[in-house]
Amino acid sequence: MDPTGYPLQGIRILDMATVLAAPFSATLCADMGAEVVKLELPQGNDALRGLAPVYGEHALFWKTANRGKKGISLDVRKPEGHAIFLKLIKTFDVLVENFRTGTLDQWGLDLKTLHAHNPGLIVLRMTGFGQTGPYARRPGFARIFEAMSGFTHLTGDADGPPQHMNFPLGDAIAGLFGAFSIATALAERNAKPKSKQKGVEIDLSATEAMMRLLDPLAAEYKFTGEARARTGSRAGYTAPSNVYQTADGVWLTLVGSSDPIFTRLCRVMNKEDLTTNPAFTTNVRRTENLVAIDEIVADWCRSLSFAELSASLDRAEVPFSKVYSIADVQADPHFKARGATIELMDPVLGAIPAPAAVPRFTGRDTVVPAVGPDTGQDNAEIYGGMGLSSTQLDALVLARII
C-alpha cells in the first residue's frame, strides 16, 4: 500500500491484538495511510484465522479484516522475545492490545515499562468492560457487548425473543471507536510542542462503545419510566418507518417520518386525507398511532409490484430502498460508479472483493491495500531493520520466539 498523501502517513502502529474489534481499529488507521505491523504468536493461532468465512485453508475474514498490514511473529512471554519487543516498541507511535486487564502487566509490559522505552507511546487498551470496575477481568465477545449495552433488547419482534444479527456488530462498533481514539490521541500529541508530548493510555470498553450509540435511552427511561423495547423493524421513534413487502415478494424499507415526506407519501398513496387526520398530523401523533399508520402503508405496498412502487416513490421523493443482500450491493450501479468495492490481490486466491476505505479525501486516489498478512511474513524486513541478522532470525525461529 502506498500511503502517499493520506492523513496518517508516517504514523507507525503495532497491532498485537487478536480476533476483530481492536485489530479493526488498526486496519481503519491503515486505510488512512498508517504503517501497521500485525504481531502474532509464532503459531499463528489467532481465532480470527478460524472464523467463517473460510475457503479451503484460507481464512477470508483474516485477509479482509487485517488488510494493509505487515506481519511479524513474536512470543513476548519468553525473555528473549520480551527484550526484542521492548526494542521494537521504540519505533512505533501506537500500540494496540486487547488482552484481559492486567495481562500485559503480568508479562512485564506494564505501562510504566512501555513508556520507559518509548515516552511518547500511545497505548490503546480495548477490553469488554474497561480497565477498572468489577467486570474488568471478564472476557468479552461482540454478542456480550451487544446484550449488556441494551442493544440486543431492542432487536427482534415485539412478541418474540431478543435477537442478534448475523455479524459481530459489537466488534465493528468498538473498532470504530478505537480508530477514533487513536486519531484523537494523535491530534492531541501533534498540537503540543515536542517537549511536552507524553504517551497516553486509552481505556476503551467495547460495551460502553455500544452504549454510546444508544444516546437517548437513559433519558427516555428516566422521564417516562419505560425502557424502550423491541418493535420488529418498525421504528418506535418516528413513523411511518418499517420494512414492507411488495406484491411480488420484494422487501423494502421506507421512511416517511418528517411531515413534508409524509405528505408526499400520502399523495402518492392517494390518501391525502391522512394529512389532516388528527392522529397523523405530526410525527409525535403518528408514533402514538404506529400500528394504524403502518398497516395503511403495508396494505398499499402489498398492492403493487416493486417496480411500480419504486417508480412511484422515486417520483414523490420518498426515501426508500430494496433490502439489499451482498449480491445486490455488488451489482448496484451507484456503488460500482463510486468504486465502493475494491479488490485485494491475494497471491493464491487472486482478487478478493472488500469495502473501499471510508471516508474519501477529495483529490486523492483510492488506495488498494494488500490482504491480511501470513504469520511472520515480514519478520526479515522488520527485525532486519532492527539489526538482527539472518543467522539470529533462524535461531529465534528454532527457539519458537518468532
> What span, in angstroms and rounded, lies between the C-alpha atoms of 353 and 360?
18
Cell numbers that stand for 266 in this block: 400520502
> What span, in angstroms and rounded, lies between the C-alpha atoms of 301 and 320?
12
Yes or no: say if 256 and 294 are a contact pair by the CB < 8 Å rule. Answer: no
Taking CA atoms, 338 is separated from 2, 306, 356, in Å, by: 20, 25, 10
The three-state secondary structure class of 123 is: strand
> What span, in angstroms and rounded, lies between the C-alpha atoms of 31 and 375?
20
Q: Which long-range contacts (CB under 8 A, 24 or more apart) does 326-335 make?
A: none
Cell numbers that stand for 56 in this block: 479451503
> What span, in angstroms and rounded, lies between the C-alpha atoms of 72 and 44?
10
Yes or no: say if 375 and 42 are a contact pair by the CB < 8 Å rule. Answer: yes
Q: Which entry of 15, 31, 46, 171 is annotated as an active-site residue? A: 171
Cell numbers that stand for 323 in this block: 433490502
Is 171 marked active-site? Answer: yes
Taking CA atoms, 387 is separated from 54, 83, 274, 380, 381, in Å, by: 37, 14, 76, 10, 10
The amino acid present at 379, given as its one-letter code, is N
Mind telling me the catalytic residues? 171
